[in-house]
Amino acid sequence: MAAPARQEWSMSDFEIGKHIGGGKFGKVYLAREKQSGYVVALKVIYKEKLEKYGFHDHLRREIKIQQALDHPNVLRLFTWFHDEDRVVLVLEYAARGELYKVLQTAGRFTERTAATYVASLADALAYCHKKHVIHRDIKLENLLLDIKGQIKIADFGWAVQSNAKRHTFCGTIDYLAPEMIKGTGHDRAVDNWALGILCYEFLYGSPPFQVEDLENTLRRILRMDLTFPSTPYVSSGAKDLISKLLVKDSSKRLSLEDVMKHPWIKKNAGPSGSCIKQREVKKAKFI
Ligand code: ATP
Ligand code: MG
């Protein structure tokens, strides 16, 4: 791996706080940088696991891509370091955690909340695409909320920096674009598709093509079997936006710039971070 920005970073620079999450390769801890008092999340990845699954290159790419991104709706990767056993990513701390859990508790979001998130995500993805970065795994589980309720795209594990059509099959079933399933080559428009899936999921509480078994979900995506259950909570403007993102022909999907200009977004989106009622949030406590 290439040398980190500041070679001398090590675990001893941080006070380690509570365990806040776990992934396939390691654990995530709340931590505070001793000199500045700055609160961060440390993602600790065990080299043994990286080697076992041959994930070195994958991680190297994730780090290179995420470290070069600086946008209010993209989780910052400040730096990284390693010792004998571990690679440690120093990340922006997203105090309100996973959007997945928030939606689970709420059941569904209001149009104002959904539109605010979609607008923030469209802005962040447009920024990534301008830098030729395609995320390729936009889904609820990869979205976090900071202390103000601002949405943050995390986990660039499947991201790629490229202009050419890609052929690697990646992503998560419910969010897979038709061209990804068919393996005919994909580009940045897979993120626009996933944004359409997310918008639907925000408003209805579950993704549009989800059924019990995997094969039928894939079949429904390929058939474009998109239905909108009748509910007074979802307006025709929202359905219009979703229908313009969930278009089979990837070149005809609504651009991210046009998502931000869409009348439903214009009408409903508040400023980024305004969607969840601002509550007094206690300062992260170290244990
Ligand atoms: P998996 O591949 O299984 O999703 P992973 O190795 O990619 O796991 P992450 O998804 O990055 O690990 O992190 C695991 C969990 O830790 C997240 O789902 C989230 O709950 C928490 N977490 C990760 N990073 C942060 C952060 N910066 N701030 C707050 N919580 C975080
Ligand atoms: Mg993850």
CB neighbours (10 Å) of residue 82? 16
Residue in the structure block whose two tokens are 């046009």: 258
Q: How far is the CA of 19 from the centre of ligand 2 (A)?
A: 15
133 lines ligand 1 (CB under 6 A): no
Pair 88, 120 in one domain: no
For 235-269, how does the pLDDT look when each residue is reduced to its tens digit (9 = 90+)?
A: 999 999 999 999 999 999 999 999 999 999 999 99
Q: Domain range for residue 159?
A: 97-268
Pair 193, 72 in one domain: no
Pair 87, 113 in one domain: no
Q: Helix or strand or coil: residue 79?
A: strand
CA distance 28 to 145: 16
Last residue of a domain, one of 50, 65, 92: 92
Residue 146 designated active-site: no
Ligand nearest to the CA of 46: 1
CA distance 171 to 214: 14
Q: How far is the CA of 230 from the centre of ligand 2 (A)?
A: 33
Residue 30 C-beta-side C-alpha neighbours within 13 Å? 15
- What is the average pLDDT across 136-154? 94
- Is the Cβ–Cβ distance between 31 and 13 less than 8 Å? no
Pair 71, 127 in one domain: no
* pLDDT the model gives residue 284: 36
Q: Is residue 276 part of a domain?
A: no
- Is the Cβ–Cβ distance between 155 and 175 less than 8 Å? no
**Tokens at residue 160, please?**
């790629």
**One of 137, 146, 155, 191 is an active-site residue; which one?**
137
How much is the pTM? Answer: 0.89
Q: What is the CATH classification number for the domain harbouring 228?
A: 1.10.510.10
From edge to edge, which strands make up the β-sheet containing 26-33? 14-22, 26-33, 39-46, 86-92, 77-82
CA distance 88 to 80: 5
* pLDDT the model gives residue 158: 80
- Is the Cβ–Cβ distance between 245 and 254 less than 8 Å? yes
- Is the Cβ–Cβ distance between 151 and 120 less than 8 Å? yes
Pair 102, 86 in one domain: no
- What is the average pLDDT across 64-77? 96
- Is the Cβ–Cβ distance between 195 and 242 less than 8 Å? no
121 lines ligand 1 (CB under 6 A): no
As a residue count, the chain comes to: 287
**Nearest CA to 81 among 73, 89, 69, 91?**
89
Pair 105, 225 in one domain: yes
Number of domains comprising the chain: 2
Residue in the structure block whose two tokens are 């103000």: 148
> Which amino acid makes up residue 188?
R
CA distance 183 to 165: 11
Site to probe by mutation for ligand 1, drawn from 14, 18, 19, 20 as the one with most ligand atoms within 8 Å of Cβ, is 20
For 78-93, how does the pLDDT look when each residue is reduced to its tens digit (9 = 90+)?
A: 999 999 999 999 999 9
258 lines ligand 1 (CB under 6 A): no
For 196-227, how does the pLDDT look when each residue is reduced to its tens digit (9 = 90+)?
A: 999 999 999 999 999 888 899 999 999 999 99
Q: Is residue 130 part of a domain?
A: yes
**Tokens at residue 124, please?**
């962040």
Q: Is residue 172 part of a domain?
A: yes
* pLDDT the model gives residue 282: 35
Q: Is residue 254 part of a domain?
A: yes
Pair 217, 232 in one domain: yes
Q: Is residue 283 part of a domain?
A: no
pLDDT grade for 170, boundaries at 50, 70 and 90: low
> Which amino acid makes up residue 104?
Q
For 99-112, how does the pLDDT look when each residue is reduced to its tens digit (9 = 90+)?
A: 999 999 999 999 99
- Is the Cβ–Cβ distance between 44 and 24 less than 8 Å? no
Which of 20-34, 157-171, 200-214, 226-240 is predicted least confidently? 157-171
* pLDDT the model gives residue 159: 80
